[in-house]
Structures are given as structure tokens and as C-alpha cells.
């Protein structure tokens, strides 16, 4: 086929896209396309004005998010004659989305400095500045829909300044750098564990770290509180169910009263409530308010009730620290690292929790393990390995120390997450990002983000990391 001949498939695709776009949206783009237009700045950037007539200079459009907050974090904008400021950007099709979606009431949106909309409309008081982009596109909407549909990840122009020197490193050099950063992160965790263990003892510190890890990002503090008060609420609880009832009660996750409907029957909730009702006066001093927990954005499998159900199995088994020590002493091939630790942390089938996400949810179609395979890696790199490593260091056991470092460096990669994904795109570009083979490399990348990106801005202002990478290359003769 000659270059000028029509590519019939491309023509089909084009007609289909344009038609479906117009039919489905009546000429208005879907919100995802509006976000892509903003991220890739497919705008006449020198002609942008807010609906109240102020010029908008986009020094950086911010980084796309996947959580429940604004669509872009860390944008740098200059609006009117004001100095450039850093903040968040929210994309909605119309200005009314701000109130309609409840952003005005949501503290996660307090840092929004611009609302990007497709077309202007009535703007009520107390609204952030609004930029309507319908008349400022740099190409027809149908063309943008086609091009941006194929774009994934961060545009090259928005990559960090370190992506160039990092891109010049050969694979083994990049791995060595990431692993060096990972060891800093690992040792920092170990130092935190060691400091706490001096006051609370090794075993109590292990429980506190495990509970923290079960809290994920959102519920670290209530989980830690429960671990810190464990001696009180665990006393006398002699079965998995008894511990679950105590944990749910002390955690403030049981209703204050059961409704008449719930009082009947032998439901799990009813039995847990009965168990807690007998104990609650004696444990009132360590009970958490329900408000201590965050439920928004928590996946069902990570619901705090379910995490506490898992912890109750660990506690009821009575020998978790001993099993971890035995795992440390055993000879384990690299290919079995995650599975062998997973066998220690996985709970046996639970009469209720194997088939429910929460206390009140409908039964699941298929039983689900209380601990997902991906979580074992989080427990390993954040708790188990640093705990064992620092104990070995304090005890002068060089052999165990080296073995825990070896296991850390050999551990398979954790599940991907939005922080890692963005860091890969920003620092490494998509191609090298896909080569992060192990958990240590992932940890190293997150440490660089913490040490450098979090002290700079979206434009990488004053970040020394690119220069450090270049100097390192030169010094090492790479």
C-alpha cells in the first residue's frame, strides 16, 4: 500500500470515534478526554483566561492522580498578575460540578487553585478560578480524541530533570543506584523499630509494626493504638472469635445499639455485639471512637473490620513471632521467599470472614483469603525483614544480618500503586519503568521521591538529584 493510499482501518477507526464521540456526548468530550487535554496541554497556552478575564500561565499542569482527590496535584500556575503558585487542579465538564460533586465540602479539595471546565456557566461565590477550554484547543476535538486516546502516562516534556541522566545509566547501574536508595529506606525502618523496641521490647514492637501495616495508608494510627493497648484487651480472650469481638469493640467498629431487626437471629454481628457487651465496661478506657477510622477510598478487601479479623487469627495462633524467627533461621531459596512467608501470615478459613468483606455485607460468591498475596511483600519489606535485620545487628549476628539483606534485595516486586507508577514515569520514563523487577528497586524509587521530589516541585526547582547522578557517573567512569 502506498503512503498516500487510504488506510481503510484508520478510516473506520476515525469515523467510529468521531461519530461515537458526537453521539454519546452531544459534542461535549468525556471527562477523561478533558483531563487528557489538560495533562498534555493541547491548548493555545498563550491565550488562556479565567472566566473572570485573568490570564492563566501554566508552568506545570500537575500530576494526574488516581485516588479520590483532585484530578491533578502539584500544578504550578500564574493567574493574572499574581506570583506563580503551586496547587491542585480539578477538571469538571461544567463549573457546577464543583458543588454537584461535593468538592466544596471535601477537605481533599482545599488546595485546588483552578477548576478546568469544558464550557463556562454560572459561577457561584466561593468558587476557585475557572478556566473554560472549549474555545482554546490547539486542534479540533475529534483529532485530539484520536491522538490522546493512544497516549499513556506522562508526556515526555513533563518528565523530571533527572530522567535524562538516569536514562543514560545502563541497567545494572540503575539497579545498583535504586538498591542503594532502598537500603537507606530499609535501615531507616530498622532504626525506628530499634528505638521502639528499647522501650517496648522486640515482640511488642513487632505487633505494633504489623498492626500499622494492616492500617495501610489511611488507618495507621487507630491500628497502632490497638497494638499499643493489646495487653489490656487481649487478656482472657481465648478464641479467634473472642479476639475478633474484642478488637471490633475496642476499635469502635460495632454499633452502639443493635436495632430490633438485627437483634433477632444468630448473625455474626449479633454474636460479636453480645461478646463485646459483656466486656465493654472494663475496656472503655482503651476504646476508639468510630471517627478515628477512615473508610473513604478503602477497598473492601482492606476494610478495617476485615484487617482486624486477620489480626485476631495471628493473635489466637499464639506463636507468630516464633514462626517468623524459624523462617529467619531456615534455608529458603529465592523462589520460595514470598510463598514461605505467606504461609505464616495467611489465616485458616474463617467461618464468617472468608466469605464477607465487612460485618454487614452480603456473602461473597467465592471464599476470599484474609490476606492477599500482594500484601505479604508489604509485610516483608516494611516489618519482618527490618525487624529481623535490626535484631541481628543489635545481637551482633553478622550471618543473619547479611541473610536478611540478601532476602530484601531478592524479594519479588510488590503490587503496583499510583505513587510507584507516577515515580516510574516521572523519573525513569515508561520504558525503563517496566524493568523494575524487585521490591528493593521499588523501595529505592520511593526513597528518591521522598528525599528529592518531595523537597522540590513539579518543575524540579533546585533539585540536586540530576547533578548527583551525573557526577556519580563521571566519578565511576560509566
- H/E run at residue 126: none
> What's the closest the beta carbon of residue 73 comes to ligand SF4, in angstroms?
14
Contact stretch for ligand SF4 (CB under 6 A) within 60-68, 109-117, 134-142, 445-453: 445-453
- Looking at residues 397 to 426 of the shown chain, list those that interact with ligand SF4 (rule: CB under 6 A): 426
Residue 460 beta carbon to ligand SF4: minimum distance, rounded to whole angstroms? 3
End-to-end CA, the chain: 46
SS3 for 117? strand
Q: Which is nearer to ligand SF4, 160 or 222 (CB)?
A: 160
Rounded-to-integer distance, Cα 93 and Cα 332, Å:
55
Residue 189 binding ligand SF4, by CB under 6 A: no
Q: Give the integer Cα–Cα distance in Å for 134 and 43.
A: 9
Residue 410 or residue 459: which is nearer to ligand SF4 going by CB?
459
Spatial CA neighbour of 87 closest among 108, 103, 101, 67: 108
Q: Which is nearer to ligand SF4, 51 or 456 (CB)?
A: 456
Q: Which of residues 148-187 bind ligand SF4 (CB under 6 A)?
A: 160-162
Query: Is the separation of the CB atoms in 402 and 388 below 8 Å?
Result: no
Phi, psi of 89 (to 5 degrees): -125, 135
Judged by DSSP in three states, 478 sits in coil
Interacting span for ligand SF4 (CB under 6 A) from 37-45, 99-107, 275-283, 458-466: 458-466
DSSP count for the chain of H helices, then E strands: 22, 6
Give the residue, chosen from 133, 311, 404, 460, that forms a contact with ligand SF4 under the rule CB under 6 A. Answer: 460
> Minimum distance from CB of 74 to ligand SF4 (Å)?
10
As measured in angstroms, the least distance from the Cβ of 154 to ligand SF4 is 10
Q: Which of 30, 229, 456, 472 binds ligand SF4 (CB under 6 A)?
A: 456
Contact 350, 369 (CB under 8 A): no
Whole-number minimum distance, CB 91 to ligand SF4, in Å?
A: 23
| By CB under 6 A, residue 430 contacts ligand SF4 | no
Grid coordinates belonging to 458 = 513539579
Q: Which residues contact 272 (CB under 8 A, 6 or more apart)?
A: 241, 244, 245, 248, 249, 254, 359
The number of residues that bind ligand SF4 (CB under 6 A) is 13
The binding site for ligand SF4 (CB under 6 A) comprises 160-162, 426-427, 448, 452-453, 456, 460, 463, 465-466
Amino acid at each position: 500500500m502506498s503512503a498516500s493510499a487510504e488506510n481503510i482501518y484508520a478510516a473506520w477507526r476515525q469515523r467510529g470515534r468521531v461519530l461515537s464521540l458526537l453521539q454519546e456526548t452531544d459534542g461535549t468530550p468525556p471527562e477523561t478526554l478533558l483531563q487528557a487535554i489538560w495533562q498534555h496541554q493541547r491548548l493555545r497556552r498563550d491565550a488562556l483566561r479565567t472566566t473572570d478575564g485573568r490570564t492563566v500561565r501554566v508552568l506545570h499542569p500537575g500530576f494526574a492522580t488516581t485516588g479520590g482527590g483532585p484530578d491533578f496535584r502539584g500544578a504550578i500556575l500564574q493567574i493574572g498578575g499574581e506570583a506563580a503558585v503551586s496547587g491542585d487542579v480539578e477538571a469538571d465538564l461544567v463549573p457546577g460540578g464543583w458543588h454537584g460533586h461535593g468538592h466544596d465540602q471535601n477537605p481533599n479539595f482545599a488546595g485546588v487553585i483552578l477548576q478546568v471546565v469544558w464550557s463556562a456557566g454560572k459561577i457561584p461565590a466561593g468558587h476557585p478560578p475557572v478556566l473554560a477550554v472549549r474555545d482554546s484547543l490547539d486542534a479540533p476535538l475529534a483529532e485530539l480524541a484520536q491522538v490522546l486516546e493512544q497516549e499513556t502516562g506522562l508526556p515526555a516534556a513533563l518528565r523530571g530533570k533527572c530522567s535524562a541522566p538516569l536514562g543514560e545509566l545502563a541497567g545494572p547501574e540503575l539497579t545498583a543506584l535504586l538498591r542503594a536508595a532502598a537500603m537507606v529506606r530499609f535501615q531507616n525502618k530498622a532504626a525506628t523499630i530499634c528505638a521502639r523496641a528499647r522501650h517496648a521490647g522486640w515482640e511488642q514492637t513487632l505487633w505494633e509494626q504489623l498492626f500499622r501495616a494492616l492500617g495501610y495508608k489511611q488507618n495507621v494510627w487507630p491500628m497502632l493504638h490497638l497494638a499499643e493497648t493489646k495487653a489490656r484487651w487481649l487478656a482472657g480472650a481465648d478464641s479467634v472469635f473472642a479476639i475478633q469481638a474484642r478488637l471490633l469493640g475496642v476499635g469502635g467498629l460495632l454499633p452502639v445499639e443493635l436495632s430490633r431487626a438485627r437483634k433477632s437471629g444468630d448473625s455474626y454481628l449479633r454474636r460479636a455485639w453480645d461478646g463485646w457487651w459483656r466486656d465493654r465496661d472494663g475496656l472503655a478506657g482503651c476504646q476508639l471512637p468510630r471517627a478515628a477510622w477512615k473508610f473513604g477510598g478503602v477497598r473492601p478487601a482492606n476494610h478495617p473490620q476485615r484487617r482486624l479479623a486477620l489480626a485476631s487469627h495471628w493473635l489466637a495462633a499464639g506463636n507468630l513471632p516464633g514462626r517468623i524467627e524459624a523462617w529467619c533461621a531456615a534455608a529458603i531459596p529465592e523462589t520460595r521467599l514470598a510463598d514461605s512467608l505467606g504461609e505464616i501470615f495467611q489465616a485458616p478459613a474463617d467461618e464468617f470472614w472468608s466469605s464477607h468483606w465487612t460485618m454487614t455485607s452480603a456473602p461473597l460468591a467465592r471464599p476470599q483469603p484474609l490476606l492477599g498475596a500482594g500484601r505479604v511483600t508489604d509485610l516483608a519489606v516494611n516489618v519482618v525483614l527490618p525487624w529481623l535485620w535490626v535484631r541481628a545487628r543489635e545481637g551482633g549476628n553478622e550471618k543473619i544480618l547479611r541473610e536478611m539483606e540478601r532476602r530484601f534485595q531478592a524479594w519479588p516486586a510488590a503490587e503496583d500503586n499510583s505513587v510507584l507508577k507516577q515515580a516510574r514515569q516521572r523519573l525513569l520514563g515508561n520504558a525503563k519503568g517496566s524493568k523494575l523487577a524487585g521490591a528493593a528497586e521499588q523501595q529505592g524509587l520511593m526513597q528518591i521521591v521522598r528525599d528529592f521530589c518531595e523537597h522540590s516541585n513539579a518543575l524540579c526547582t533546585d533539585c540536586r538529584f540530576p547533578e548527583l547522578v551525573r557526577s556519580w557517573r563521571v566519578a565511576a567512569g560509566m
